[in-house]
Each structure stands twice: as C-alpha cells, then as structure tokens.
Amino acid sequence: MIKPTIEQILTPKPEARPRIYAYAIADDAHAGMLKVGQTARDVKQRIAEQLKTAAITNYTIELDECAERDDGGIITDHAVRDALKRKGFANSQLEWMECSVADVKTVLAELRTGQIFTGTHHEDFPPRDEQARAVQQTYDYYQSRWQEDDKAVPRFLWNAKMRFGKTFTSYQLAKKLDAKRVLVLTFKPAVEDAWQSDLENHVDFDGWRYLSRNAGGDPRDVSADTPLVYFGSFQDLLGRDKAGNIKPRNEWIHTINWDLVVFDEYHFGAWRDTAKELFEGEDAAVAKKEESLEYASDLENVNEDLGVLSESETEFLPITTRAYLYLSGTPFKALATGEFIEEQIFNWTYTDEQRAKAEFAAKNPGKRNPYGALPQMRLLTYQMPDELLAIASAGEFDEFDLNAFFAATGTEDAAEFKHKTDVQKWLDIIRGGYAQQTVESLKTGTRPPFPYSDVRLLPYLQHSFWFLPNVAACHAMANLLAEKHNVFWHDYKVIVSAGATAGIGLEALPPVRKAVGSGFDTKTITLSCGKLTTGVTVAQWSSILMLRNLKSPETYFQAAFRVQSPWSIKNPNGDNPNEEEILKPVCFVFDFAPTRALRQLSEYGIGLSPGEPNPENAVRELVSFLPVLAYDGANMTQIDAGGVLDIAMAGTSATLLARKWESALLVNVDNDTLRRVLDNEEAMAAVGRIEGWRALGDNVIETIINKSEAVKDLKNKAKEKGGELTAKEKKELTDEEKEYKSKRKLVQEKLIKFATRIPAFMYLTDFRENTLQDVITKLEPDLFHAVTGLTVADFHLLVRLKVFNTERMNEAVFAFRRYEDASLRYTGIESHDGLTHYGLYDTVVAKE
C-alpha cells in the first residue's frame, strides 16, 4: 500500500449546506400542489436546472429552508413527504404534494424538533457483505457443534467495532436460525432504541414481536409460532435480591427455553477496569452513578475465580438456550486469554472497515460507497518543550504526565490549574502563538501543524472534545479559556460536561446538542473527564484532544472513536439516492504524551490481532489506515509501524519485561483445560516434569475438578431451595471452595514459574526471537530443555491443549525482542535477520 503524504493526511474539509425547498407551477395540472425537494446547492440554481429542459418559467419558489434538525441531523425530502402523507396529504405525482406552504413548514418544525418518522417495516436494505459473512460463519459453527452433540450450547463472539450494525445482523442470524425466542442482554444499561427500531422498521422482520420492561408485554402471552425478542439489562433480568433469590418479577425468564441469547457490549473481565478508568476523574458519588449506568452493577461476583467464562456460565446464567452470541468492539481480554478460539470469532475491526472502504472505492468508481461516511482517523502526537516537560514528567517511563500537568483545584468559577502559567503556554502552543516555538520554526524553516494554527486542521476543530483528568480540570480549563486575554478562544462556545451539575449519563448530552446545533455556524469545545465517551454520537465532533492519562487501549479508543462518527448528507441534491455528500472525510486524535499514545496504538493493533504471529504486521496494517504524525520538538514526520513500536517501547525496563512473564494471563487453569490434561497420559507426564509440580501432591488436578464441581452442585441446590442453606451445607461449601481455589492457585503458580524460564533461555541464545515459535523450534531446542526442564515435544503438547496462552507469550517475546534490539543498537550492534515468523499455535496444529 502506498504511504499517504502529509498533505493527504491533512485533508481539506468540504463545505455543504443542505436545504429543503418547495415550488409551485402556475398551471391547471399543478393547481394546489407543491414540489418538495432537497439540495446541498443553491436552491434557485437547482430548480432552474430541473425546469430548464421542459422550458417551464411560470414557477414560484415558495420555500427555501435549512434542512438541519436541532440535534444536528439532516432532514431529507423523503422524510418531509412521508410526514405529509401521514397527515393525509396526497402524493399524486412523484415528489408533488397536495398541500400548502404552511403545511410543509409545520412538518419541518416537527422534524426539526425530533419528531422523526420511523414507521413500521419500511426499510428494505440488504445485509452488507461482512454482515452476511458474520451470520454465515456463526450459523455454520453452531451447526457443526450441534452435529457433534445435539445438546451442546455453542458460544460465538463478534469482535465488531461500532457501526458494524450488530443489532440488525444479530436479528439476521436469529432469522437464519429460525429462532422463535431471542433474549438480548446488555452488560451496559444502554439505550435500547436501536434494538427496537431495527426489529420494527425492517421488512425482513415483519411479524416479529419486540418486548422489554420499557416497551411492556409478557413473553408468555405471545404465540409460540411468533418470533419474539425480549431486551433487558443483565442486572435487571438476572440480578438477585439481597437474599440471593431471583427477583419475583423475572422468574418467567428461567421458564422459557430460549433459542438464542445475545450479550451486547460484552467486555467480560475488562469492564470493571474500563468503567473505573473512564470515570475516575468524576466526583466519587457521580462516578458511582456513572459506572452503574455504564456497566451492570450485579456483575461484581460474576466469574470471580480466574476470569474464565465457560466454567461459571451456568452459575450466573440460570437459563436454558440453544446458543450464545457475544458482541463487543473491544473484547481484548476475551481474545488475549483464548476464551474463544479462532473458529468461534468473527472480526470486524477499524482496519477491516477502512480496508473495505478503500477497496469499494477502487472497484466501484462513481458509486455511492456504503463505508464512505466513516471517517479515517489520524493520530497527531506532540513532544512538549523541555520547560513544560520539566513541570510534569514522572511515572514508570518518566513520561509527560498529563494528569499532573493539568492538575487543578477548586470548583466551578473558583477552579484553577496548579500550573496555570504553563497551561497557558500550552494553549498558546496549540494555536501557534508561543513565541519560543515560533523562533524554533524560523530556525528550522518549518511550521508544524499545531491543532488550532494550521488552516488544514482548523475546520476539523470547529467542534472538538477535550478529555481532561477530572472535574476540577474541566472547570479550570473553561475559566482559563474565558479570561480576557484569551481572545482567540472566545469564538468557541465551551461546554463543561463534568460533575453532578452536568447531569448523569445521557442527561449531559442536550447542552452539547444545543450548543453545536447544525454544526455549520457554531464553534464548540466540549470539556469532559468521562461523560459522553461511550454510547453517544455527536456527528459534528471531528477531533479529540487527549489531555489525561489512560492506561488501557480499550478506554483510549472507546473515547477516540467518539469523533469517528459519520457526518454526511445522503441524496444531497434530491435527485440521486445513491449520492452522498461527506462532510467529515477524516477525523483527528491529538495527543501530547507521544510515548503513551503510541503505546496505546500498538497495544490496540496487537490486541485486535492476537493470532498474528508478528505483532509488527498487526501494527503496520493499522497505521496504514490510521496514519501517525509525530512532532519531536523540531519537525513533524510520519511514523511507520517500526517507529510506532520503537517509541512505544521507549523507557521499557527489564523489570517491566520480567513482569510480563509473571502474569496469570500466560496460563489457563480452568476446568476444561485441566480436564484435557487429565485425559492425556503424555500431558500428565509432561506437567509432572515441571519444577515443583510433584510437591503439589498426587491427584491435584482431579481434586480441583471434583471439588469445584461439588461446589457448583451445592450452589445449584441452594438455588432450588430459594437460596437457603443449612449451617452444615454452608461450612461444607466454604471448605470445598477454599480447597479447590487454593490448589488451582498453586497449579497456576507452578506453570507461571515455568514461563519465567523462557526469558532466561532467550538471554542465553545468540538470536533475536520474534515469536515463541522462534524461541523453541528455530534455534536451540536442547538448550530450551536444559533451561526449562521440558522438551519441545512436551511444550507443543501443552500448547495444543491450551495450557499456555500463546498469544500473550508471543506478545511478551516480541516486547523482549524490541527491548533487546534497542539495547543492541545503542551499543552499535544490529540484531539478526532472517527468522521465519510462524504463529506458535498454527505451527503446532499443523504438525499434529
């Protein structure tokens, strides 16, 4: 792929203003009628072009109004005519309506304030190619599992970024399965509009019923032959009361045999950390409320053992179903831990989306691109001047600490930055007004594209989102921007979306909508420390400034994707339904802690491609669709995959690398894995050769499996009794649970101890390894045996049985290699080339 130039990355933003018009023709054939249309051009010119061929001159333009809703959306002429028809006005000739100008204005007023026609089963668009593939792949997997075991309950994961169309595609899968009872559960109490509207609006689901607590209705009253979808949140439908009993109002859910259970927003095992990080800047009480809205509170005790869903699924899901479908845009933990194997996963990532966009444009020139409105992201990072770096450089990597730099105290109008003078310098820098920076630019003969100074970037900063550390910082920034000397910033309406006064959850959105309006004539800056970073769409947001530390790539990109929402006008001239005017072809992420930003980028790329044997390839593909420009204090240059990884690894210590090899994520010790080992005589012999294993005692694996099964049986009996246990049963349960958990922990520790021998082996070799496969087969297998105590054959067998998480190990090996390469380059030594890169798991399977 040809690397885009900086000029291509800094794409000019097109301008367009959608209009709704109506005109009349003074003749008997059109008496009492108005032609209602839409255009993004000059209305007079558009109408003149329409009527020129027929040589009609006796027309009058009766209406020429803005086609924008109060929430920033676009009103189409189709919506206007449909609304008029609902009011009883005739549509006798194509786009001609038998109505008055006042009638059209009334409909426009209704649509502009949000009363938009949705109708019932009027949409007829077909699934996109990737949606059809997801349905077929999932269907085929379900069928294969049922053919092996007709009582099997298969599980499948859709790793699909937002705007994949998960609701519509899930329903298509349900239809293909001929499902009559579908339960949709969300781990986030999100708005259910999409699940309801997709079912009720598309012709493919005519005759289906949608029920929920909000929509009302009792599933038991619906005919068994009628396809039914019931939507609810996890904590409402499957939560229990304080006594541990099923909520009486939801007992019916356990009596239905569901055909398909869908988990929406499934970030199992990662949701707690994500929610905590998103809202840690909010006041404690507000953060608690925001977290309860963002994620299901009753999940605290779910899968408390080791994060392996399959083992405890029946414990927290006391329902019966034929199959499970999991939906998530950032299922990093599920992917990294091997919770789903390759054949159980359908991937549709940002890279897939942008690749499809480019391929469609290349193959179908001139046609409307179904992915065309999805902007391509650009990441611009900036190294701050030394004088600012000295203010706040700390942490594990001695990096620019955004939280420390933007530290603030006080509330509302009294809020102020601790380093106010330095933050003011930062404001001057990003608008190109910092004197020292100007001198440096004159010396180098270059003028780097700072966000609010480059004319190519300014249109994309007309509406931006600033992600700050906490509530005090948000108010302090608003106060600083409002000061008299900051004249440049007074053109922007600043909205503080932080703290209790901004509202909880979606309540914080209306003030932003009001300030943005149509987006054409306004300029806004939204300040937040967590609100509005998930589950909302403000089409006009075209850039985000990352002004706080974020640890996880899930949180980072969840926030970043807020600005990747499409903003376009379909059929802008009212004469071509396949034409689309793209108002936001690209969007920008600006970050001022380069090392941290590129580490997030590399982890995101690697995390979404856990099966990629060479992590650099995953990052290379990502940056081909997410170009990165880095300002090093003098020049702005485009960074390739190798550069991203080099910068991301900067400051990595041997101690940090060692920690990667001590992680519990490197090994799998759930019951299914242990049972596979127990059933394989060679595998039992192999684990017996691991140092310290025999000290665990005889039959340790059998004990863990049996005790955990006994605990599960006791819990099931308790449920049957309504949650009540005798004192003897409670003691038995406690003792059994303690014993198997402690033994499982010991097994885990022994396996991790083995894993820590890998870097010791790597230190002893003369080669630079890229994957674990390189480590154990391409180089010195005899040395591997001597250092670790296992033979290559032993290790391959345990890999095949999924005892070791090869994706995580490959990641650790790669990090070690990058670190070692950097160390060698520092001493003037180049690492060895020529290693063949194979994925460990793929190679093992191929050899079996």
119-146 burial by CB neighbour count: b if 16+ within 10 A, else e?
eeeebeeeebebbeebbebbbebbeebe
- Is pLDDT of 485 > 90? yes
User: Do 87 and 172 fall within a single domain?
Assistant: no
Same domain, 263 and 157: yes
Q: Does a structural domain hold residue 121?
A: no
Secondary structure tally for the chain: helices H, strands E: 34, 27
Domain boundary among 618, 651, 684: 651
Question: Is the pLDDT at 114 greater than 80, yes or no?
Answer: no
Q: Which residue has the higher pLDDT, 338 or 672?
A: 672
Domain co-membership, 340 together with 366: no
Residue 455: pLDDT over 80: yes
Burial pattern 34-57, b for ≥16 Cβ within 10 A else e, equals: bbbbbbbbebeebbeebeeeeeee
Span of 98-107, 338-347, 654-663, 677-686 with lowest mean pLDDT: 654-663
- Tell which of 348, 374, 408 closes a domain: 348
Of the listed ranges 165-174, 442-451, 684-693, the least confidently predicted one is 442-451
pLDDT at 285 over 70: no
pLDDT tens-digit series, residues 792-838:
778 878 877 878 776 666 666 666 665 555 544 444 444 444 333 33
The band of 547, judged by pLDDT with boundaries at 50, 70 and 90, is: very high
CA distance 266 to 274: 12
**Token pair for 128:** 């996109």
Tell me: pLDDT of 663 over 80: no
Same domain, 341 and 359: no
Residue 10 has a pLDDT of: 80
Winning range, highest mean pLDDT, from 27-31, 124-128, 431-435: 27-31
Q: Is residue 395 part of a domain?
A: yes
Q: Average pLDDT over the chain, rounded to whole?
A: 78
| Residue 6 in domain | no
Q: Considering only 119-128, 171-180, 308-317, 766-775, which range has the smallest mean pLDDT?
A: 308-317
Residues 461 and 392 placed together within one structural domain of the fold: yes
Pick the closest to residue 253 from 171, 208, 318, 324 (CA basis): 318
Q: For residue range 616-661, what is the model confidence (pLDDT) as tens digits?
A: 788 888 888 889 888 877 677 888 777 777 666 654 444 444 555 6
342 and 358 in a single domain? The answer is no
Q: Write out the residue range of the structural domain in which residue 145 sits.
A: 129-348
- The domain tally of the chain equals 4
DSSP 306-329: TS-HHHHHHHH---EES-EEEEES
CATH of the domain at 144: 3.40.50
Name the helix (H) or strand (E) containing 588. Answer: strand 586-591
pLDDT of 180 over the 80 cut: yes
Shared-domain flag, residues 551 and 575 = yes
- Please report whether residue 832 resides in a domain: yes
Residue 181: pLDDT band (50, 70, 90) is very high
- Determine what percent of the chain is predicted with pLDDT higher than 90: 26
Name the domain boundary from 300, 331, 348.
348
Is 736 inside a domain boundary?
A: no
Residues 762, 642 within the same domain = no
- Looking at residue 301, its pLDDT comes to 41
Residues across the chain: 848
Q: How far apart are CA 494 and CA 490, in angstroms?
A: 9
**pLDDT for the residue 766:** 54
Query: Is residue 723, in this structure, part of any structural domain at all?
Result: no
Residue 297 has pLDDT above 60, yes or no: no
pLDDT at 341 over 80: no
Q: What is the pLDDT of residue 511?
A: 93
User: Rounded to an integer, what is the distance from CA 656 to the centroid of its chain?
Assistant: 27
Rounded average pLDDT over 137-155? 91
Predicted pLDDT at 210: 92
Check whether residue 547 and residue 689 sit in a common domain: no
* Statement to judge: residues 184 and 93 lie in one domain: no
Q: What is the pLDDT of residue 405?
A: 93
pLDDT number for residue 750: 81
Mean pLDDT within 569-574? 72
Residue 172, in any domain of the structure: yes
Residue 306's pLDDT is: 27
pLDDT for the residue 212: 85
Q: Which residue from 671, 667, 708, 672 is spatially nearest to 690, judged by alpha carbons? A: 667
Q: Do 621 and 747 sit in the same domain of this protein?
A: no
Residues 261 and 357 occupy one common structural domain: no
CATH label of the domain that carries residue 457:
3.40.50.300
Asked if 333 contacts 802 with a C-beta cutoff of 8 angstroms, the reply is no
Report the pLDDT value the prediction gives residue 196, as an integer from 0 to 100: 83
Confidence tier at 847 by pLDDT (50, 70, 90): very low
Q: Is residue 721 part of a domain?
A: no
Average pLDDT on 56-79 reads 85
